[in-house]
Structure 1
Amino acid sequence: MIPLRRQRDYRLLWSARAVTEAGSEVSRLAVPLTAVTLLAASPLEMGVLTAAASLPFLFVGLPVGVWADRVRRRRPVLVLCELISGTAVVTIPVAWLLGLLTVHWLIGVALVVGTCTVTFRNFTMPHLTSVVAEPQRTEAIAGMQSVFSIAQLGGPGLAGVLVSVLSAPLALLVNAATFVTSALLLRSIRTEEPERPVAPRRALRREIAEGMSALARHPVLRALALCGMTVNLFAAAQLAVYVLYAVHVLGLPGGLVGIMMIGFGAGGLVGAFVAPKLSRRFGGPAVLLGAVLFFPLGFLVMAAVSGPVWWCVLLIGTAEAVVGVAVVCFSVCSGALSLRETPPELIGRVNASINFLTQGALGVGGLLGGVAGELLGLRPAMWVCFAGALLTIPCLWLSPLAGLTRRARALRDAAEETRLADARR
């Protein structure tokens, strides 16, 4: 079988995501900095702004999953999403130059881009099955996860330079350009999407219910979704007030505000490299159980850290690097497990159901973080996020994954004993 790195269409798909995610890292820093430094946004407004990017997962995520299972060709939809996102982002610097930019404008753009992101993600996983053969999908998912890590590793530094040189609103022109570049790369993919029998159209509610029901009935996928929903809820709550916390409590300069993303990206890159190897060596369930133990670490350090700038940067960067390894290992193994356990005709809807829960939690978490920061203060809000992150551990350790791990270990031990016995003969 041809290695993925030598498969042209996979390289194009990978490159499209790499370009977009690098540009999106600029937005992740430039948009909140614009809101805080130029528009004097309050903690509550920052919470709403953070939530706006993820709320579309709750509003349109499930119907989009049905759409992803219905259509014959998914690639044109991916291209259109990138073009719409690029157009929406470019309105921010234009509005700023015209003196029209407000926090409400930023929230509106976040909603548009978030809707495109929902559609893109729900179409990407089914589309991946037409580009990559089944035996290579774990490796392919790991490769796609490395995209996010590379972007988080270099993106904040790039964003810091662009914000310093161009100002935060003008830096967003780079993000708009990356969306267009991604659309061109996706359009260059040559692999024909296989003809699939299209089932008769039924009530939208019924098709959505089939996806949710398939997820709810599968105990392992249900546990993974609950764990992802929990960590995302409190990660978004933390992120909603992170810029305010970093600037006003920790005293980090603008160029170092992105240290959390840089550390996470460095760890995520390592995680994308080791996840397939760990999965083959120990099995996916064991990797998932081990990874979740590290999830609360970044929350703990963020809530407790204090002192000089260099010390804060060192602790936050190191903790986020460790968490980055764990989160990407979790994402790779859970994604591969979801593809393997989901019937092909339900991939779009089950994937949309998972995204509805895990990504929709980001929107709720953003609002939660804004309210907590407003009512409790910034550092107490960080401690609330740490307490919530601890709940991710029982989500998996009290699930059937623990039993699967024990059975897999017993099977490996039995196979090893058989191998040694055969060798002695």
Structure 2
Amino acid sequence: MKHSLQASSDAAPQPVPLRRQRDYRLLLSARAVTETGAEVSRLAVPLTAAVLLGASPTQMGLLTAATSLPYLLVGLQAGALADRLRRHRPVMVACDLVAAVAMTTIPVAWITGTLTVPWLIAMAFVVGTCSVIFRAVNFPHLATVVHESQRTEALAGFQSAFAVASVSGPGLAGVLVQLITAPFAILVDALSFLLSALLIRRVAAPETHTPAPPRGMWTEIREGLGTVLRHPVLRALCGSGTTINFFGGVYMALFVIYALNVLDLPGGLVGAITACFGIGGLLGAAVVPRLTRRFGENRVLVCATLLFPVDYAVAALAGGPAWRSLLLMSTTAVTSGMAIVAFSVCMGAITLRETPTELRGRVNATMSFTTQGVLTLGSLAGGLLGELLGLRPVLWISAAGVLTTLVWIGLSPLRHSSSASTR
């Protein structure tokens, strides 16, 4: 099938529906398999470290941090690189292949008796770095594959792949760990990276990106940072995403221990609540394209923001019989999952809309640097506040804190329903 999104003529024909576009289906399939593989490794790698290698709490903390640390170390540079490139797909394929090799070394080292916790940490860092670079170049690449009018729907499709993986992945991981042990379950993640590389390699859309002229890495990084800081919409999006993720990190640092020790919920029910979040994500991905077509990305994003404190407040209020806590928290987890997906999809679509083509890689990298990097700070703050104030008060702090996202939006053009570019 030939790529359907050619330059429009004076007649401006309607683009072919995404579900019928071969290139988009390939990208979506690649995202689906890698997200599923990541869910398997999210369980199998810590189990390998803790159960088979006897990792200490400090080593487990380093292992967790190794996956997100690349956002802080190379996130901004990856964005500058993405804007310099004329072709993005070769870099995406290379990132997948390097990640596949890194994950394959873990079961190989286990077989040969040479696997250590430092090696797991190193491989987690390598895969995390590949993920950061992949996401940096994938953002501007999407604009060459998907028509401008379909980007919100395309981003929603990617979010649905993540939601499906978050629902089905943990169960698959548990089965694989039981059947073939944790180190060999990691091979599934390696195979998912390899399959993703093969799928992306088959994308046929011509890459029309015009590379930005190199002017020095730090000069280009400053341009990306400056664009986000000066642009009222991008600044508000970045501030909102950072606020949401910081207080989300605070909440998630304490959620499991709060559910187990304060609400006395069995571990299985805690897992069910988490699965409800993924179900909400699926529902959100299904309805967001329709909502944005009717109301616009700005209005949908604002409405999603209003829902964020609900999940935290209900958790803080929960108590009494386990069935009641489960019912309330499962319901709000579905709502929260829908809100997160709606916000993420609209944030991506608005960022594409508002960012000059030659700066998309750097702007996206700046967004990722702040919104993903702050998760570590939120988790550390959550643990510290939980020790000082107790668990339930910190949930209330999270609810109040995430509500301040409305300040970022209220002081920006995002408060208006219009989706017209403010550039």
Q: Secondary structure at the match of 2:208?
A: coil
State the partner residue of 1:18.
32
Q: Secondary structure at the match of 1:202?
A: coil
State the partner residue of 2:372.
359
1:333 aligns with one of 346, 365, 370:
346
Which amino acid letter does the alignment assign opposite residue 237 of structure 2? L
Q: Percent identity?
A: 57
State the partner residue of 2:356.
343
Q: 1:156-208 deviations in whole A, cap 9, x for unaligned?
A: 22223223333444322222211111111111112221263x44421111111
Contact 2:31–2:158, Cα closer than 8 Å, also in 1: yes
Unmatched tracts of structure 1, length 5 or more:
409-425
Q: Distance in 1 between matches of 2:402 and 2:116?
A: 33
Contact 1:295–1:392, Cα closer than 8 Å, also in 2: no
Measured after TM superposition, the shift of residue 131 of structure 1 is 1.0
Q: Secondary structure at the match of 1:60?
A: helix
* Structure-2 change in CA distance of 1:102 and 1:251 (3 Å): farther
Which amino acid letter does the alignment assign opposite residue 130 of structure 1? T
State the partner residue of 1:221.
234
Which amino acid letter does the alignment assign opposite residue 79 of structure 1? V
Q: Secondary structure at the match of 1:55?
A: helix
* Structure-2 change in CA distance of 1:240 and 1:67 (3 Å): same
1:289 aligns with one of 291, 302, 325:
302
Q: Distance in 1 between matches of 2:75 and 2:103?
A: 21
Which amino acid letter does the alignment assign opposite residue 231 of structure 2? H
* Structure-2 change in CA distance of 1:314 and 1:156 (3 Å): farther
Q: 1:57-109 deviations in whole A, cap 9, x for unaligned?
A: 11111111111011111101111111222222233444455565555444333
Contact 1:45–1:370, Cα closer than 8 Å, also in 2: no
Matched, 1:69 2:83: yes
State the partner residue of 1:322.
335
Measured after TM superposition, the shift of residue 400 of structure 1 is 3.1
State the partner residue of 1:179.
193
Q: Distance in 1 between matches of 2:313 and 2:184?
A: 35
Matched, 1:51 2:54: no
Which amino acid letter does the alignment assign opposite residue 378 of structure 2? G
Which amino acid letter does the alignment assign opposite residue 365 of structure 1? G
1:9 aligns with one of 20, 23, 37:
23
Measured after TM superposition, the shift of residue 261 of structure 1 is 3.9
Q: Secondary structure at the match of 1:191?
A: coil
Aligned pairs, number = 406
TM-score using structure 2 length: 0.85
1:191 aligns with one of 205, 208, 214:
205
Q: 1:268-308 deviations in whole A, cap 9, x for unaligned?
A: 11111111211122222111111011112333344554566
State the partner residue of 1:420.
none
Q: Distance in 1 between matches of 2:367 and 2:325?
A: 35
1:269 aligns with one of 282, 296, 309:
282
Q: Distance in 2 between matches of 1:49 and 1:240?
A: 16
Matched, 1:211 2:229: no
Task: Give the stretch that moved more between structures: 234-243 or 291-300.
Answer: 234-243
* Structure-2 change in CA distance of 1:372 and 1:128 (3 Å): same
Q: Distance in 1 between matches of 2:136 and 2:68?
A: 14
1:129 aligns with one of 129, 143, 149:
143
Contact 2:83–2:212, Cα closer than 8 Å, also in 1: no
Measured after TM superposition, the shift of residue 373 of structure 1 is 5.7
* Structure-2 change in CA distance of 1:307 and 1:48 (3 Å): farther
Q: Distance in 2 between matches of 1:366 and 1:140?
A: 31
Contact 1:156–1:261, Cα closer than 8 Å, also in 2: no
Matched, 1:86 2:100: yes
Contact 2:167–2:275, Cα closer than 8 Å, also in 1: yes
State the partner residue of 2:11.
none
Q: Distance in 2 between matches of 1:388 and 1:117?
A: 29
State the partner residue of 1:201.
214
Which amino acid letter does the alignment assign opposite residue 245 of structure 2? N
Q: Distance in 1 between matches of 2:320 and 2:44?
A: 26
Contact 1:68–1:123, Cα closer than 8 Å, also in 2: yes
Q: Distance in 2 between matches of 1:80 and 1:153?
A: 28
State the partner residue of 1:392.
405
* Structure-2 change in CA distance of 1:287 and 1:42 (3 Å): farther
Measured after TM superposition, the shift of residue 366 of structure 1 is 3.8
Measured after TM superposition, the shift of residue 389 of structure 1 is 2.8
Q: Distance in 2 between matches of 1:380 and 1:167?
A: 40
Q: Distance in 1 between matches of 2:410 and 2:105?
A: 46
* Structure-2 change in CA distance of 1:165 and 1:249 (3 Å): farther
Contact 2:144–2:209, Cα closer than 8 Å, also in 1: no
Q: Distance in 1 between matches of 2:42 and 2:158?
A: 19
TM-score using structure 1 length: 0.84
* Structure-2 change in CA distance of 1:255 and 1:20 (3 Å): farther
RMSD: 3.0
* Structure-2 change in CA distance of 1:370 and 1:109 (3 Å): farther
Q: Distance in 2 between matches of 1:342 and 1:283?
A: 18
Contact 1:47–1:367, Cα closer than 8 Å, also in 2: no
